[in-house]
Structure 1
C-alpha cells in the first residue's frame, strides 16, 4: 500500500510540475490563442504547429501543448480568412509576421481588411490572387479608374465597415455592402468620379439615394441623404456636390452610407483611400 501511495504521489507531482512549467494549457471560456501565447511567452504559430491546428480559433476544454520539439514549429498556413473583429496586427502576432509583410504580400495600401477576405501569409502567392484579394467576386481588379476615386465627404471617419456586421436597428447579422461615414446633417457629398446620375430618389431602407454610373462597370451609391442636388440623366464631374447628408430610411442618426460596385458586385470603398 505504501509503495502504491508513493507511486501515486510521484505521478501527481510530475503532472503538477508539467502544468506549472506551462507545457500544457486547458482552454477556458474566453481564452484565445493570442492570450495563451502572451501569457506563456510563445508564438501562436508555435502553438498551432505543436497541436496540428489549421486555424487560430479554439474551443473551451481543448488541451493544448505549449512547448515541445516539432519540425514545423516555424511554419505557417499559406493564408488566413478574416473573421469578425480580426485585424492585421492580431494576425501578425498569431503568425509571427510583421504587419508590413502582410501588407506587402497582399498588396494592401493600408491596414483596412474585411470579414471573409483571404490574407496570404507568405511570399509564395499567385499575382492573380493578390489582385483579387481585396475585392468581392472573381476577377475584380483595383483599376486606374477605382484608384482615381475621390472620397465623397471631407471626413474619413468610418462608423461601420464593409462586410459582415450586426445591423444597428434589426440586431441581425447582415452583409454591409458599403461603409458608413460619420457626418453632421447637411454635410456636402461630392462625386468621387465623373459619370451620369442613374437614380435620384427614395429607395426602401436606403431612404433618399443618389446612384452614379461611372462607366467601365463602376457605380457608386449614397444613402440616408437629406437633400438631392442632382437629377436622373444628369452628367456630373468629379468633385461636384451631388447631395447633402441626412438621416432618412433605416438610420440611427445623420451619416452617409457609401457604396462602390463593379458589375453590380460590392467592393470595399476603402480601396480608394
Structure 2
C-alpha cells in the first residue's frame, strides 16, 4: 500500500475540512419575519411616507413597523429598505399631486390650549410637532381643507388622523380618543375630525399636532396664527 506523507494527507483533507466547517451565509431578516415569509423589499424614494407606502401595498402599517423595527412612522429616509409582507412585486408609490398654487395653506389651530411641548429639530431631543393640552373629548378641527389620507391606530401615535393638503402639505393629529373621519373623505378647514384623548404613548389628554411638507416636519408655530386669533 502506498503511504501518503503526512503533509500530502493534510493537503488532501484540508479543503474538505474547510468546506465542511465553513459557516453558511447568514440571511438577515427583519424582526419577527420568518425566512419563508413571502414579501418584497421596498426602497424608499424621496417624498414617500410610510403610510403612503403601506396604503399602496394594502398592508397594515403597524405590522410593517413591527417587522422592520420602526418606532416612529415618520422616521424613514430615502434609500431605506422596508420589508413588505405578502407583496409579490415592488410598486411605484403615487405621491401627492402638487398644487398649481404652491403657496402655503392658511392653517388654523386645531384646538385652543396650553402648549405643553414645542417643536424641536435637535436629534437628541427631537419632537416633530407641538403638544397642546385640552380636556378629554375636546373637538379637534382640521387645520386646513384637505383629504383624509389615514385614519386609524399607529403605534406610539395611538388614534391618529393624517390630512393631505394642497401643495404637498400634511397635518397630523395624534393621541385622539376618537377619530370622526374615514380615509378618502374630503374635509373643510375648521371641520371637526376627532376628539382629544391620551391614546398611544401619551401622558394625560392632549393633542400632538404636526405640519409636514412631504415627509419633512415643519415647526407649526411658524405656520399658525397667534393662539386664539380665529
Report the alpha carbon displacement of residue 144 of structure 1 after superposing the two structures with TM. 4.2
Report the alpha carbon displacement of residue 154 of structure 1 after superposing the two structures with TM. 2.6
**Structure 1 equivalent of residue 56 of structure 2:** none
**Structure 2 equivalent of residue 223 of structure 1:** 174
TM-superposition CA deviations, 1:30-82 (whole Å, max 9, x none): xxxxxxxxxxxxxxxxxxxxxxxxxxxxxxxxxxxxxxxxxxxxxxxxxxxxx
TM-superposition CA deviations, 1:125-161 (whole Å, max 9, x none): xxxxxxxxxxxxxxxxxx7434x11110033x21001
SS of structure 2 residue aligned to 1:162: coil
**TM-score, normalisation: structure 1:** 0.43
SS of structure 2 residue aligned to 1:216: helix
**Structure 2 equivalent of residue 160 of structure 1:** 117
Distance (whole Å) between structure 1 residues aligned to residue 175 and residue 215 of structure 2: 20
Report runs of 4+ in structure 1 exceeding 2 Å deviation. Answer: 143-146
Higher relative contact order (CA closer than 8 Å, sequence separation 6+): 2
Distance (whole Å) between structure 1 residues aligned to residue 142 and residue 211 of structure 2: 12
Where in structure 1 are there 5+ consecutive unaligned residues?
1-142, 167-172
Say if 1:227 and 1:263 are closer, same or farther in 2 by CA, change over 3 A.
Answer: same
Distance (whole Å) between structure 2 residues aligned to residue 244 and residue 164 of structure 1: 27
Say if 1:258 and 1:150 are closer, same or farther in 2 by CA, change over 3 A.
Answer: same
**Is 1:145 paired with 2:104?**
yes
Report the alpha carbon displacement of residue 164 of structure 1 after superposing the two structures with TM. 5.1
* Higher percent of residues as helix: 1
SS of structure 2 residue aligned to 1:197: strand
Distance (whole Å) between structure 2 residues aligned to residue 231 and residue 189 of structure 1: 15
Where in structure 2 are there 5+ consecutive unaligned residues?
1-101, 226-230
Aligned length: 123
**TM-score, normalisation: structure 2:** 0.51
Task: Determine which of 129, 150, 159 is the counterpart of 1:208.
Answer: 159
Task: Determine which of 182, 186, 191 is the counterpart of 2:133.
Answer: 182
